[in-house]
Structure 1
């Protein structure tokens, strides 16, 4: 009897665009069983910024994988070819930028539906910043200028997501306030350096490339209306270093 594939996605607080050590990129590839996984970068949130694409290709062409890029601002594939292209990927890696614009462009091209289909067939979906926000029901974003809540997303991950929890002024307090006021549902706050893997909707692995970075579960409750719980993360290390659990 056929076994349904696991439905997996990863929230990233770093990677090729922000880090020099490549630890989170290697971790993403380690989650795929294929010997040379097909990895598609989707830079929609940055308007298909060419420098961002070049960063991705420079990082992934040197790894044991088959990298590619999905351009939507100069789209070359018809609907059938686009579906075939996305569904043959082992990993879809979504870059950062503007979450609201990302979702709007995807829906205009039907990419939102194709990513649902890819997710259901076992493709690993992942991304940083807007590329982490997009998978949830809602997120914390600066898509409209000031930090605010966005009650929109693909809904592949229940709840909400907040990126850059430790590195951008106002992120922590604003996200906590949104959850406390029920403007956003309970969710996940990702500090820079963290990777969090969800399998069939459940957190299964959390890792960090720096000793101090954490993943947080943020829920309504507590004395000030919000409860924040830091979750243990396994520290990623280079091949020469020992591992530890933070």
Structure 2
């Protein structure tokens, strides 16, 4: 695939009061006044969640909208037209597994892949971060477990809430060590990661302590994690992400 961008969020309007991650996100939209569509599917289109999104983004220089699927009003043609017209698709948290089932039932999975190809910025928090990868760690089934049927727009695996839920780190690292999950990316709460054409190009954090990690097998039956440098939002600081990933100069 080409031209696609995905942003994984460890926060935003769902959890934060400072708005830093959402402002950072909108700064990467392709239009100066972007059209931003919220998909609250993972929460069952929870009204309170929708209201929080609309309140947060109505105050920004953008055109917010919401796509409910549990009370769907658009036919297939209108659904496609609406999604492909967006500059940003923002997916909320909730149950990743259930969300993917609903998306596939309505054909939203195919439309998101098409939007990705056309340059729409796809993003989200928690379930809205998991869904873009091939595989992830989820609590969709109760205890933490591997989810193997993500959309696959982002190669590898993803684990959100890496620092805030005690079982996430050991579960993810064990799954990568055993091969149940491919190598991938773990996000502390309060961080963001931008991928272009499947390649990590930027990481940010609301606090100096929170990080994005690369987690890989260590070749000895275990796994290893590398904390990646990231810009502290609100500060004029930017470290060399390419060097931390072992990329040659000039790579994103």
TM-score category of the 2 structures, normalised to the smaller one: over 0.9
Residue equivalent to 2:236 = 243
Distance in 2, matches of 1:152 and 1:20, equals: 33
Secondary structure (helix, strand or coil) at the match of 1:81 reads helix
TM-score between both structures, scaled by the size of structure 1: 0.95
Aligned to 1:176: 173
Q: Distance between the aligned counterparts of 1:5 and 1:98, measured in 2?
A: 29
Quote the offset at 1:223 in angstroms: 5.0
What RMSD, in angstroms, separates the aligned Cα atoms of the two structures? 1.2
Q: 1:193 matched to which residue of 2?
A: 190
Q: CA–CA distance in 2 between the matches of 1:245 and 1:201? A: 21
Deviation of 1:32 (Å) = 1.4
d(CA) in 2 for partners of 1:177, 1:155? 21
Given the alignment, which residue of 142, 159, 177 partners 1:145? Answer: 142
Match of 1:227 among 224, 229, 238: 224
Partner of 2:246: none
1:75 aligns with 2:67: no
Is the 2:2–2:197 contact (alpha carbons within 8 Å) kept by the matching residues of 1?
no
For 1:209 and 1:6, how far apart are their aligned partners in 2? 27
Alignment of 1:56-135 (within 5 A): 56-135=53-132
Task: Give the structure-2-normalised TM-score.
Answer: 0.93
Question: Does 2:17 correspond to 1:24?
Answer: no
SS in 1 for 2:165: coil
**Per-residue deviation at 1:227?**
1.3
CA 1:116–1:224 in 2, change beyond 3 Å: closer, same or farther? same
SS of residue in 2 equivalent to 1:71: coil
Residues 126, 161 of structure 2: 8 Å contact kept:
yes
Query: Which sections of structure 2, spanning at least 5 residues, go unmatched?
Result: 240-252
Q: Distance in 1 between matches of 2:2 and 2:136?
A: 27
SS at match of 2:17: coil
Shift of 1:137: 0.3
Greater than 3 Å deviation, 4+ residue runs: none
Identify the match of residue 214 of structure 1 among 211, 214, 217: 211
Structure 1 residue aligned with 2:199: 202
**CA distance in 2: counterparts of 1:75 and 1:188, whole angstroms:** 33
Q: Which residue of 2 aligns with 1:38?
A: 35
Gaps (5+ residues) in structure 1?
none
